Amino acid sequence: MQDTFQPIAPRSVPGASGGVIAWFKNNLFSNPVNSIMTVIMLAAVLFTLSQATSWSLTHAVFGADLEACNSARGIGACWGVIAEKGRLILLGLYPQEEQWRPVVATSLMLGVVALSCMPAFWNKSLLIMWPTMLVVYFTLMKGGVLGLVEVSTDQWGGLPLTVMLTVIAMTLAFPLAIMVALGRRSNMPAIRTLCTLYVELIRGVPLITILFMASFMLPLFMPSGTNIDVLIRVVVGITLFSAAYMAEVVRGGLQALPKGQTEAAATLGLTFWQTQRKIVMPQALTTVVPSLMNTFIGMFKDTSLVTIVSLYDLTGAVGLALNSDADWRPFKMEGLFFIAAIYFAFCFAMSRYSLWVEKRTAVSKSR
């Protein structure tokens, strides 16, 4: 007997398995406990945001009005301290009538760094831009020529000093790190031992100790009458410290490279340095881009330690500007938030550029 087809009653549409609502349901409101915790955390976040907005915007004082700032103390932020002390925070002790010079010099340095990050300028033009930029930078900052008033290095400070220390130390430390990384993999025991001792010695000592020794102890071992500028000693100390950490990052990239790459280069008759320049280094460095950028970011923030040797970078300039003024000293927190925003802007830009380089190298590897 043949069965007769009987249609079933229509069913309701099933709940959405994707989308924002489904994600919230599966991850934040999947059970009663998760739902309660989500509500509590959401209430805490909203309360914190409302308090932060009230302090930083709603009840804040934006003008350089000391009386208004004192009245709003504990209720709202006094951003007027930035208007009042911003010049000293950003430029340090540099003479006020000459402060156009560090502004121009720092803008030039950052401009050349930005151009160096663009593939269109990855050619021999960099060999002209960088020496020219450095000559112009130190001519403007130091003065003493072309009718410029001479300004000693102990008056350099603020953002120009932070940027200069980072850029110079980064530029010098990177090639040194490559040479040390190659030395640690050398077949010559003397070179390998020397590079290993350098890395282990530097990594075993805090940066603040190296800066202290370079600034105060090194002159004791110099011949009588010999005086090396403290800024040069600080740059050398930061460079040696950063190069040791960077060398280990580069060595990790070298060890990650298959041995067949160098063997193939040898069969083609390439010399050691040709192999390193054309085969090994391009692949090894692209492998460790995130770690290298992490080292650069750490170096940028570590420049704040130069305050220990009486060089007032961006962080030291805040204390210099506010600790010496009893009227504005209570609003040091706002000054610290201000420089924190500057540090974050630079670090975030470096991080974004690192991601761009990673994506660019990933495309080249997939071809």
Last residue of a domain, one of 115, 150, 185: 150
Is 188 among the domain residues?
A: yes
Say yes or no: 198 and 340 in one domain: yes
Indicate the number of domains in the chain: 2
What does the H/E/C string look like for the chain?
Answer: CCCCCCCCCCCCCCCCCCCHHHHHHHHCCCCHHHHHHHHHHHHHHHHHHHHHHHHHHHCCECCCCHHHHHHCCCCCCECHHHHHHHHHHHHCCCCHHHCHHHHHHHHHHHHHHHHHCCHHHCCCHHHHHHHHHHHHHHHHHHCCCCCCCCCCHHHCEHHHHHHHHHHHHHHHHHHHHHHHHHHHCCCCHHHHHHHHHHHHHHHCCCHHHHHHHHHHHHHHHCCCCCCCCHHHHHHHHHHHHHHHHHHHHHHHHHHHCCHHHHHHHHHCCCCHHHHHHHHHHHHHHHHCHHHHHHHHHHHHHHHHHHHHHCCEEHHHHHHHHHCCCCCCHHHHHHHHHHHHHHHHHHHHHHHHHHHHHHHHHHHHHHC
Last residue of a domain, one of 109, 133, 150: 150
CATH number at 347 reads 1.10.3720.10
Is 145 among the domain residues?
A: yes
Say yes or no: 218 and 165 in one domain: yes
Q: Which domain holds residue 350?
A: 156-366
Say yes or no: 101 and 165 in one domain: no
Say yes or no: 280 and 242 in one domain: yes
Per-residue confidence of the chain (367 residues) as pLDDT tens digits? Answer: 566 777 777 776 665 556 777 777 777 787 888 888 988 999 999 999 998 898 888 888 888 888 888 888 888 888 888 888 888 889 888 888 888 999 999 999 999 999 988 888 888 888 899 999 999 999 999 888 888 888 888 888 889 999 999 999 999 999 999 999 988 888 888 988 999 999 999 988 888 888 888 777 777 777 777 777 888 888 988 999 999 999 999 988 888 888 888 888 888 888 888 888 888 888 888 888 888 899 999 989 988 888 888 888 888 888 888 888 888 888 888 889 999 999 999 999 999 998 888 888 775 555 4
Say yes or no: 211 and 133 in one domain: no
